[in-house]
């Protein structure tokens, strides 16, 4: 398996980025709902700790999306298995939708979080927007808003629109489509993204 994609399959870099990103989304969702469901007091130390786990997984998505997009642009796309045109179009739009949420969820989370910095797996810290020099310059200086006024609409976008509904619904559709291809169509769609999976011999899998 090469590092780069071929017309037949994804290379190891694209696969690693895909599954790492999936892991970070799972980590961000599991942490945030574990905190909300099991520690309802939003100011308790346990809830704060778990919020920190959410923000570190969430920001990792934001950090991985740039290399992922660059890698996508500089690589060829594997040719998809034969399917009706509408399915190819739906897959294309769904993938761009997922890229949108890979940017929108971390960005709105980062822009709307209080505190000074986010701990990244106890290795290094990333300043929050509020803790950065941008906040007093842009929000207080140029827009004349307090943090609470600024945070309110961004929190609605992050917590109620993107995070709570739109992103995970698209993720579910994405998983369902991959499983449909694997179980019912019995083609290479899922196999192309799985490390070391053997491709079935089809016209598109024999292309270089």
**Which residue lies nearer to ligand HEM by CB, 26 or 76?**
26
- The least distance separating ligand HEM from the CB of residue 74, rounded to whole angstroms, comes to 24
Burial (CB < 10 A; 0-12, 13-18, 19+), residue 94, is: middle
- The least distance separating ligand HEM from the CB of residue 149, rounded to whole angstroms, comes to 17
User: How far is it, in rounded angstroms, from Cα 143 to Cα 40?
Assistant: 33
Comparing CA positions, the residue from 101, 59, 87, 116 lying closest to residue 177 is 87
**Which residue lies nearer to ligand HEM by CB, 14 or 61?**
61
- The residues that touch ligand HEM, with contacts defined as CB under 6 A, are 25, 28, 32, 35-36, 42, 47, 51, 54-55, 58-59, 61-62, 105-106, 109-110, 113, 118, 158-159, 163-164, 167
- The least distance separating ligand HEM from the CB of residue 11, rounded to whole angstroms, comes to 24
Question: For residue 167, how many C-alpha atoms fall within 13 Å in the half-sphere facing its CB?
Answer: 24
- Name the strand (E) or helix (H) holding 118: strand 117-120
**Which residue lies nearer to ligand HEM by CB, 15 or 51?**
51
- The least distance separating ligand HEM from the CB of residue 1, rounded to whole angstroms, comes to 27
**Which residue lies nearer to ligand HEM by CB, 38 or 137?**
38
Contact 167, 175 (CB under 8 A): no
């Amino acid at each position: 398996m090469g590092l780069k994609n071929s017309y037949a399959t994804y290379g190891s870099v694209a696969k690693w980025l895909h599954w790492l990103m999936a892991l970070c989304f799972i980590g961000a969702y599991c942490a945030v709902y574990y905190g909300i469901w099991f520690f309802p007091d939003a100011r308790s130390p346990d809830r704060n700790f778990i919020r920190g786990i959410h923000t570190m997984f969430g920001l990792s998505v934001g950090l991985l999306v740039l290399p992922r997009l660059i890698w996508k642009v500089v690589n060829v796309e594997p040719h998809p298995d034969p399917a009706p045109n509408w399915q190819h179009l739906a897959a294309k739009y769904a993938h761009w939708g997922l890229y949108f949420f890979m940017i929108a969820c971390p960005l709105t989370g980062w822009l709307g979080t209080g505190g000074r910095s986010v701990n990244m797996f106890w290795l290094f810290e990333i300043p929050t927007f509020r803790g950065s020099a941008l906040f007093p310059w842009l929000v207080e200086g140029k827009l004349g808003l307090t943090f609470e006024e600024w945070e309110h609409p961004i929190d609605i976008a992050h917590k109620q629109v993107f995070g709570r509904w739109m992103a995970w619904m698209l993720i579910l559709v994405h998983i369902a489509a991959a499983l449909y291809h694997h179980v019912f169509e019995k083609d290479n769609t899922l196999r192309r993204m799985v490390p070391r999976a053997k491709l079935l011999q089809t016209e598109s899998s024999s292309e270089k």
